[in-house]
Every structure is written in structure tokens, then in C-alpha cells.
Amino acid sequence: MHTMPSLAMNGLTGAPRFRPQALFRPASVAVLDAGSEVGARVMANLLASGFSGAVLPVAETRSVQGVLAYPDIASLPLAPDLTVMCGTATPEIFSQLQAKNCFAAVAVQGGTGLRGLARSSGVRSLGPWSFGVAVPSIGLNATVGHLRPRVGRLALVSQSAALCRTVLDWAEPNGVGFSHLVGIGASDDIGFALVLDWLSRDPGTGAILLDIRRLKNGRAFLSAARAAARLRPVVAIRSGSRLEDPTGAADAVFEAALRRSGVLCVTRLEELLAAAETLTRSRPATGDTLAIVSNARGLGRMAADAALRNGVALAGEVIVAPATLAAEAMAIKGAGGVLVVHAPTGPGDAAIIAALAATATAAGTGTNPAPILVCALGETTGAVNRRLLAASGVPVFASPEQAVRGFVHLLQNRRDRAAARELPPSKVLDMTPDRAEVLQHCAAARKAGRLELTRDEALALLAQYGLPGSAGIGTLHIAVRDDAVFGPAIAVGLLGDSAEPVTGMPPLNLVLARGLVERPGMDADIEPLADALVRVSQMVVDCPELAELDVVLAPDGVAAARAVLRAPDAAPARLAIAPYPAELTQTLESKGEHLTIRPIRPEDAEAHRALFARLTPEDVRFRFFNMIRELAPEQMARLTQIDYDREMAFVVTREQPPQTVAVARLVRDVFGDGAEFAVVVQPDMKGRGVASALMRALIDWGRAQGLGTITGEVLADNAPMLAFMRHLGFGIGRIPDESDVVQATMRLSA
């Protein structure tokens, strides 16, 4: 299904509203206080960048840098798509922009209450203290920077104007270009989530760098980060976390939350830059081993040491090839990546560097699909060599250590993507806790004036989730604590093990739980531990009253437990990752057969694959608008591992034989109040009310989410589907320039 542009309005029919295109693809830009020092800098950047749209300065003078100026917003000859506020952002300015029908702004200076102003006026803004926004491919440079970014595929989203300047300063001599530079500043209104949603859909963005100081909404951020990381590499760095929490617990939760979303976390600026260098230029790693080729044995061995220190296995001995580095690198087979270490030698370097530059286009062809990274040492001639290699698109580094870290980033990205594609087995733990009894234990403690449950009360609580008490010796400690940004997090550590606990985010399934409890060299059976961890995770999901939980597990049950409730006036916990909405499960009687309608879950992957295999070729064409023989693992993961805050997919299952017989999904437009649906039913279940029940479930979910419109594209020759849509109350309309596709639309709200 194709994503349709949002037609949502600002609560009034026909009233304009914020469009992300106005922020990232503006056709006109107004600059307020254009005559100030900051305004002059923004004006100079806009005029020098080749922006083809209208530049509209607002100033007290008749012109600014040769461009006709206007005395106020009301005097502008047109409604600008984007306004850059170079003075203090005030309520009056927001009111005037609203009256002018401009709903996208950037506050590069101070201002307070931008979130409230955005809500009341509809004018969405970056900032305050935003670096600005630049999109080099369209010549847009509405920033306060001193350097002009070149066109490329790297996107930088930062809360720090200083870091933006630093990355720009590094990028120019290293030949790195940008698809976007977005300064969200203090992010009073627009934050990371909206920007990530735009970048994840931008075909010109190859990798995304995030500089994070604070997050307003951890759940919204992770939802957007997960969506972006499915499509392209995302790397994040967080500053100041150790200052705020010297224990490192906040760092551990931050890394666990981002890892769960497929985002690579780094802790040093040089790592962020190395990741940018590698992920925007290099081919993906094809394996876990690194081959090293050098023109100097000692430097090659130094690179080998760096690889081993970083846990990277070597693909054989270091190859020494003084004059044929590129040829040797291209000839290597079987390695996950190749690192070329070049030390300057004099006049002969020109031919060597030219040959290495050619590997940027030759790498990945023939018998060597592995990425080739180059470490060009030195400064006097080494810096020149690095610029030449960078200009050719070669991932190049100044030291062996940086190059090895670049390869590590490729490996981490490869593993994250493999984990995202992993299809979990169909086993789901059966837990049917008595919710009334769970609440009774909590109420008893509160009635007694206690927040901490007794040992027996805590054990009784855990027993409801299939975790009986044990007199055995504990082996695993599970601790649940609240993080200020991401809510409840689970730390898992082996008793008697000096290693730091591993942190994870609920909800957990068996695959995720195994990853938390498994340790190198561990000889214990991890299956019972993973099983218990999933049960504890479910208790955290079900009991937002819990503030703290400690569980010590023995092989046969719970050896010790401690549980603390939240204060009576405290807000309940909110998980950073949307849990499985089991409450939406319902039953359907169809021609004497008992069927279940429920939200899809990752463990449905194999049943989903089997459903696809039972569809007729015509069913497949009607659903996917194309003939597809089978779904790739990436597609299967995408269809079954969904974010319940962004979309819903209901499946219909039968007991005998155990099958998924139908599925319908509704994917929200993240920039509006619309959503797009799709539905498919296997041949023997058609005409039994299954599709109607699925669509009613989707419509009810959409209304509960506050959606305004749901739409679906249907092939014009799919007569049964068109009749079905009309029966449900959908209107059918043509799509401009589409002769073989029509659109079914239903309004859910007036």
C-alpha cells in the first residue's frame, strides 16, 4: 500500500495547519529581525546557498543584503512556508504567523513557552536556541553556522549549536556531505520524534546522527527511532548523563532503550564521527572478521592489536604489500571487511592513493563483496591523501584505532539489523494472573500504611505469574527500577559475577529475555531463567502500581523477593515501549466455528508465512499490487513486529487446525490524523463474515485513537473488494493519474 499525504486540518474544515514539508522543503523563507547580527548571518547563509525560493527579510530597514525588506509579518507579500525567528520568540509573533497562515518556524534565539504557543496557534517550531535547519540538496541553509554544508547523505539532528558547528568543521575536509542538518535546540515544541519520522522517509538520507541532551517523551522518541532504524543506520550520542547520574544507571537504560530500537549508541565524539564516516560511505560488513593489508609491518601489527582489543577477530595474518595495497585488498576473499593501513613513503604515494580511491567504485564487485576501509597516516601528506580518498567516497581514517572502531560500527549495525530481522518461535508463555488478587495484595499493604510489601505478599504476587517460591540458592538477580525518561527498566545480573548487570526494557519475549540472561561461558540452563524473566516482565506491564521490584531466582523458583508500591498520589508507570494490547482480543463465531480476533505479535511470523502460502495468486496481486512468490524475512519481521502506537494489525486464528486465516492492518500517518488499511483473507474463509469483523475491529481501534480518516488503495478490477468497501460505508474515488487504482475512504470523525 502507498502512503497517502495527510489532508488533516487544524480542527476547522479547510483551515491550514502545520506541514512537515514547510519545514524541510520550504518554497519560501521569512527571516524576522533580519537586520540584527544573528539575522544577518541567517540571511547571508540563505543567499549564499543557492536557495531558489523566496527569501523575505523582516526588518526596520528598507533592504537587507540587497533584498527588499518588509516592516512586519503582516506586510509580507505571501504566506511564507518557513519563518526563522532571529530575535526572542514571543506570543505576538506566533499570533501574527498564525494570521499569516505560516505554521512552521525556527527559533534560533531565546523564547519561553514555545510548546504552549504552538498548541494555541498551530505554529510548530524548532528551538529555542536552535542551530537552524539546512537541506543542501535544495540550497536551504537557514542556520546560524559559519560554514556551508555540502550535499551528501548524512543527516545530523542536534540539540547543540556548538556540536553542529564542530561536525560541519570536521565534515568539510573529510568530504562528508549532508542531507539535513536540524538543530532542535531546547526542543520545547518539535523534538526528535517528528524529525526522525521525516528523515526515515527521505530517500536522500543514508544515515542519521543524533546528539541528545534531553528527551521530553521517551516513548514517542523510541517509536520514531525504531521506525527510522529499520530503514537506515541511526547513531546516537548523549552528553551530560554521567553528570546527572554518576552511578551510570541512566546510561545503561539509555543504551538498552536505543539498542532495543536498533540505534547504535556511542559515548565519544570521535566515535560519532567515525560512525558517520563509515556508515555513509562503506558497504555493509559481510562477516565478523577483519583482514589487514599494510605497506608497513609494524603499523599493520598495530592495527591488528587495535582490532583484537575491540573484540574483532582477524582473517589471517597481516598482509604486507608496499606497492600493491589496492590490488591485495581487492583480492581478499572470505573476510567480513578489509582495512588498508598506508604510511606515507614519498613520490610513489600518488599512484597508491589513486588505486585505493578506485576501490570506492570497485569494492563489492566480482568476488570481493567486503567493505574496504583505509587508514591514511600522517598530516603533511597524510591529510592530503585523506582528502583525496574522501572525495572519491572511500571511508578513510587518520589512525588504525579510528579505522577499527569504524569497522566495529559496521559490525554493530549488521548485528542490530540481523536482530531486527530475527523471527521468534511461535511459543508464547501462558500467563493468566488473577488481577483481583494482585490488586488485593497491593491494597492490603496500602491499607496498613505501607508501600513495601511483605516477603509473603511479594512471593504471592509472583506466584500469580507462575513463579513459585523456592528454598534453593539464588543464581540470578532481577531488579526493576524507574528511569526518569524511559520508565521501568529491568537490570539482570548473575549473583557472584563481577560483571555489570545487563539492562533491558519491558515488555520482553523469550528471544529478548535469552539475550539478557545469557553470558559467555555460562553453563547453566538459560531457558528457565529466560522463562522467569518474561514472567517478571509481564508483571511489570500488568502492575503500574509497582515502583521497585527485586527478584532473586533459583533454578526452581523465587528464592527472595521485594516489592515497593508507588505513592498514592504518584502517576502510574508508563512503559517506553508499547506493550502487547491483549485487552483487544475478541471472539468470532463463524458458521459454527470458534475463531479468535487479536492483535498480531512477533511470534505469529511462521503462521503469517503459512497464511501467505495459502493465498491464491489473485489474492496476492490484489493485496500487494504485484505478484510475489514469498515474503522475505525482512518483510515478515516488518509485518509481525509492529509498534502498537503507530499501527494495528489484527489476525484471525482458528484452533483446529491451528492457523492464522486472515489479517487486517491500519498504519497511521504520523504527520496527520489519517491511516491506511489493508485486509486479506485466505480462500476457504471468504464469505463467512471474517473480513467484516476484522474491518470493524480496525475502525473501532482507529476511532479510539482519535483518527479522522482511514483510506485504502484498491485495484480497480478488484470488484469483490470494492463492493465490500461500499457495504461498510466507504466512499470510492479515483486517484489522479492512476487508471488502475481507486481509493476507498471513510471519515471516522466530523
- Per-residue pLDDT tens over the stretch 647-700: 999 999 999 899 999 999 999 998 888 999 999 999 999 999 999 999 999 999
pLDDT on residue 437? 84
pLDDT on residue 634? 80
Neighbours of 426 (CB within 10 A): 13
And the C-alpha cell for 224?
A: 520514531
The answer to whether 291 and 332 are in contact (CB under 8 A) is yes
- Per-residue pLDDT tens over the stretch 488-537: 999 999 888 878 899 999 999 888 899 898 876 666 688 888 999 999 99
Longest C-alpha distance within the chain, in Å? 86
Grouping H, G, I as helix, E, B as strand and the rest as coil, residue 329 is helix
Distance of CA 245 to the CA centre of its chain: 25
Cα–Cα distance between 430 and 564 in angstroms, integer? 26
Task: Characterize the bridge pairing of strands 178-183 and 132-135.
Answer: antiparallel
And the C-alpha cell for 558?
A: 523465587
What percentage of the chain's residues is helix, strand, coil (to nearest 5)? 35, 25, 40
- Per-residue pLDDT tens over the stretch 540-581: 999 988 999 999 998 889 999 999 999 988 888 889 999 999
pLDDT on residue 4? 31
pLDDT class of 6 with cuts at 50, 70, 90: very low
The answer on pLDDT for 420 being more than 70 is no
Cα–Cα distance between 455 and 635 in angstroms, integer? 47
Compute φ and ψ for 361, nearest 5 degrees: -95, -25
**How distant, in Å, are the alpha carbons of 33, 36, 71, 115, 308 from that of 88?**
9, 12, 17, 15, 53
Residues facing 554 on adjacent strands = 557
And the C-alpha cell for 709?
A: 480518516
pLDDT class of 421 with cuts at 50, 70, 90: low
Q: Is 735 exposed, middle or buried (0-12, 13-18, 19+ CB in 10 A)?
A: middle
pLDDT on residue 366? 53
Report pTM.
0.88
pLDDT class of 425 with cuts at 50, 70, 90: confident
Indicate the DSSP class of residue 636: H
Degrees (nearest 5) of the Cα angle 27, 32, 35? 120
CATH of domain 470-565: 3.30.470.20
pLDDT on residue 2? 35
Q: DSSP letter string over 252-311?
A: HHHHHHHHHTTPEEESSHHHHHHHHHHHHHSPPPSSSEEEEEESSHHHHHHHHHHHHHTT
Looking at residues 62-70, what average pLDDT do you find? 96
Residue entry with cell 556548538: 162
The answer to whether 734 and 742 are in contact (CB under 8 A) is yes
Grouping H, G, I as helix, E, B as strand and the rest as coil, residue 133 is strand
pLDDT on residue 3? 35
Cα–Cα distance between 621 and 607 in angstroms, integer? 20
Q: Is 523 exposed, middle or buried (0-12, 13-18, 19+ CB in 10 A)?
A: exposed
pLDDT class of 365 with cuts at 50, 70, 90: low
pLDDT class of 13 with cuts at 50, 70, 90: very low
The answer on pLDDT for 736 being more than 50 is yes
And the C-alpha cell for 673?
A: 490524523
pLDDT on residue 16? 61
Residues near 116 by beta carbon (within 8 Å), at least 6 away in sequence: none
Cα–Cα distance between 459 and 470 in angstroms, integer? 10
The answer on pLDDT for 7 being more than 80 is no
Most confidently modeled range among 1-5, 291-295, 426-430: 291-295
- Which residues belong to CATH 3.40.50.261 in the chain? 20-279, 283-421
Grouping H, G, I as helix, E, B as strand and the rest as coil, residue 24 is helix
Q: DSSP letter string over 725-740?
A: HHHHT-EEEEETTEEE
In this structure, the chain runs to a length of: 750
The answer on pLDDT for 9 being more than 80 is no
The number of CA neighbours under 13 Å toward the Cβ of 737 is: 0
CATH among 3.40.630.30, 3.30.70.1230, 3.30.450.20, 3.40.50.10490 for 582-747: 3.40.630.30
On average, the pLDDT of the chain sits at 90
The answer on pLDDT for 735 being more than 90 is no
**How distant, in Å, are the alpha carbons of 140, 192, 221, 278, 737 from that of 106?**
13, 14, 20, 31, 36
The answer on pLDDT for 176 being more than 70 is yes
The answer on pLDDT for 12 being more than 50 is no
pLDDT class of 750 with cuts at 50, 70, 90: low
Indicate the DSSP class of residue 579: P
The answer on pLDDT for 218 being more than 90 is yes
CATH among 2.130.10.10, 3.40.50.300, 3.40.50.261, 3.40.50.720 for 20-279: 3.40.50.261
- Per-residue pLDDT tens over the stretch 249-260: 999 999 999 988
Residues near 700 by beta carbon (within 8 Å), at least 6 away in sequence: none
CATH among 3.40.50.360, 3.40.50.261, 3.40.50.150, 3.10.520.10 for 283-421: 3.40.50.261
Cα–Cα distance between 418 and 261 in angstroms, integer? 13
Helix axes 269-281, 161-171, angle to 10 degrees: 50
pLDDT on residue 739? 84
- Per-residue pLDDT tens over the stretch 270-317: 888 888 888 888 888 999 999 999 999 999 999 999 999 999 999 999
Q: DSSP letter string over 167-225?
A: HHHHHTTTT--EEEEEE-TT-SSS-HHHHHHHHHT-TT--EEEEEES--S-HHHHHHHH
Helix axes 349-362, 382-391, angle to 10 degrees: 30
Strands (E) in 573-715, as ranges, are 586-590, 593-599, 647-654, 659-668, 674-681, 709-715
Closest-CA residue to 165 (of 182, 180, 146): 146
Cα–Cα distance between 276 and 179 in angstroms, integer? 13
Q: pLDDT: is 638 or 745 the higher one?
A: 745
Sign of CA dihedral 256, 260, 261, 266: positive
Q: Under the phi-then-psi rule, with left for phi > 0, alpha for psi from -120 to 50, and beta for the rest, what region is 117? A: alpha
The answer on pLDDT for 209 being more than 90 is yes
- Which residues belong to CATH 3.40.630.30 in the chain? 582-747
